[in-house]
Chain A
Amino acid sequence: MKLIVAIVKPFRLDDVKERLKGLGVHGMTVAEAQGFGRQRGHTEVYRGAEYQVDFIPKMRIELAVLDDQVADVVEAIIDAARTSSIGDGKIWIQPLEELIRIRTGERGPDAL
């Protein structure tokens, strides 16, 4: 199993979610995050004091998937989240050692 973490622009979240549903991905965890890569932040001004804000709001999506689902899921995320402008985000894939469903105690692929 793998843990896929995708950092995407917040307004792409709905599209990503719908594409993944279409693939049969049953769940995900989403969190608000801030980050930057090559995208520049913005400037705010309050009574003449300029505040340079480097961080940009993003959404962090985490999914647990089977190894053979990874390629399709990654392609779906890229397709849904890409806007072709700087700041589209990144995906990274981590090995997932164990997965447990709290309600039933199921482990491994049964817990997906």
Chain B
Amino acid sequence: MQAIDTTWVLVSAALVLFMTPGLALFYGGMVRSKNVLAVMMNNFIAMGVVSVLWALVGCSLVFGHDVGHGLIGNFSLAGLGGMAHGLAGFNHSGASPMAIVTFQMMFAVVTAALISGGTTDRIKFPAFVLFIALWLFLVYIPLAHWVFSPDGWLAHRGVLDFAGGTVVEINSGFSTLAIVLVLGRRRGWPSEGMAPHSVPLSLLGVGILWFGWFGFNAGSALGMNSVAVYAFINTALAAAAGLLGWLCFERFRENFPTSLGAASGAVAGLVAITPCAGFVTPMASLAIGVLAGVICAMAVRLKFRLRYDDSLDVLGVHGVGGLIGMVLLGLFATRSVNRAGANGLFTGGGIHLLSVEVLAAVVTMGFSFTVTWLIAKAIDRTVGLRVSPEDEFRGLDLTQHAESAYSIGGMGRIGS
């Protein structure tokens, strides 16, 4: 074990955790002021609930000893124990097992938090909490085992996914689609104006996400080595290219380049590079980023035509961006960057990598959508997913949390 590797993984864990409050700001700025605390609360509750469940059993189910066929882990690591002899499949990494699973915990947290971007303005808080607990066990953990654990069945088939294009991005995108279809559209959407109440807040959030993503991607090298360095620069370039790509789309198709578009483009680039970061060249990252920027910019406009209310475009940016990344990885992957990787279609590897990347993408889409839809339906039929129309009108901050973000109605008095 090397101290430098453990150090880098722990720093990366902190960077990834920081992404969740960053996401909260990004999302918060884009909703109406009466619902800003609620969406930020959804992000914070993920930090609470997912961390605890991960430590108790989640980590073990993902990284514990495989029970068979690469489907799921066992309870060998329950309570974050059982790592005295290392973490099976990760002994090549110089980082300590505890550091690795701590780092991975932050991935589970942010993926759950991402879903809150679709359910804004209308989801009941207790329903959301119950949802992410069930979703963590039934959707995230199996997928994470299949892809991130070396014993997972997708990993066994040679699927490459450096930092979670499937487990985090495609998963969050299509899980969100499933829950918003069950949840229903916001009252008044899309005819009633629901403009962002604070774009500066969103821009700050994206800055934090961008910063944290260096931990997300470069940290996934699980050590301080040349792959980590590649992942770092690839992340930086994809974000920049994504920003420019989205802006070009806006400027030429809609006449105005917007700051929200620039921020969204950077996120799209970051999403797409997530599976690719440690496997492609910096120049390929530029291509991946700009394609994601342009395609995601188009994808988010689609929801108005297809009439589904994914409030903050989790599907359009994370789902679609993740798909773009997985496919492009099948084209651009090169062993010259990472000897433990593979070559893609453009680098002499033939069609094999592309085929398993597509397989992984399709499996992730189908699994996350289907199981999430079932969970959402079950919660809706029992506890109820959605607030009442009156509560929706009054706003979630007041009705779910007895708080007002900006005290527009005056301060009131303490006491009855």
A interface residue numbers (CB < 8 A to B): 44-49, 51, 53
Contacts and interface: CB of A to CB of B under 8 A. Distances in A.
Contacts of B300: 47-48
A45 B301 contact: no
A45 to B, nearest CB: 6
B193 A45 contact: no
A45 B256 CA distance: 8
Contacts of A48: 254, 297, 300-301, 304
B347 interface: no
A46 B258 CA distance: 8
A45 B30 CA distance: 12
Contact of B313 (A45, A47, A51, A53): A47
B261 A47 contact: yes
Given A51-B193, A51-B195, A45 B258 contact: yes
B116 interface: no
Contacts of B261: 47
Main secondary structure of the interface of B (DSSP, over half): helix
B254 A45 contact: yes
Contact of A49 (B190, B199, B264): B190
A49 B256 CA distance: 12
6 contacts: A44-B195, A46-B30, A47-B313, A48-B297, A48-B304, A49-B190
Contacts of B301: 47-48
Contacts of A44: 195
B105 interface: no
A47 B261 CA distance: 6
A47 B260 CA distance: 7
Pick the 9 closest A-B CB pairs, nearest first: A48-B301, A51-B193, A51-B195, A47-B300, A46-B196, A46-B260, A46-B195, A45-B256, A45-B258
A76 B259 CA distance: 42
Interface of B: 30, 190, 193, 195-196, 199, 254, 256, 258, 260-261, 264, 297, 300-301, 304, 313
Nearest to A44: B195
A88 B313 CA distance: 40
Contacts of B254: 45, 48
Contacts of B30: 46
Contacts of B313: 47
Given A46-B258, A47-B264, 10 more contacts: A44-B195, A45-B254, A46-B260, A47-B260, A47-B261, A48-B297, A49-B195, A51-B193, A51-B195, A53-B193
Nearest to A43: B256
Nearest to A50: B254
Contacts of A53: 193
A32 to B, nearest CB: 13
Contacts of A45: 254, 256, 258
Contacts of A46: 30, 195-196, 199, 258, 260
B187 to A, nearest CB: 16
A46 B304 CA distance: 13
Contacts of B190: 49
B201 to A, nearest CB: 13
B194 to A, nearest CB: 8
Contacts of A49: 190, 195, 304
B224 to A, nearest CB: 38
Contacts of B264: 47
Contacts of A51: 193, 195
Contacts of B258: 45-47
A1 B195 CA distance: 44
Interface centre among A44, A47, A53 (most CB of B within 10 A): A47
Contacts of B260: 46-47
Interface centre among A46, A48, A51 (most CB of B within 10 A): A48
A44 to B, nearest CB: 6
A49 B195 CA distance: 9
A69 B261 CA distance: 54
A51 B30 CA distance: 14
Nearest to B256: A45
A44 B260 CA distance: 12
A49 B297 CA distance: 12
A44 B256 CA distance: 10
A47 B190 CA distance: 13
Nearest to B30: A46
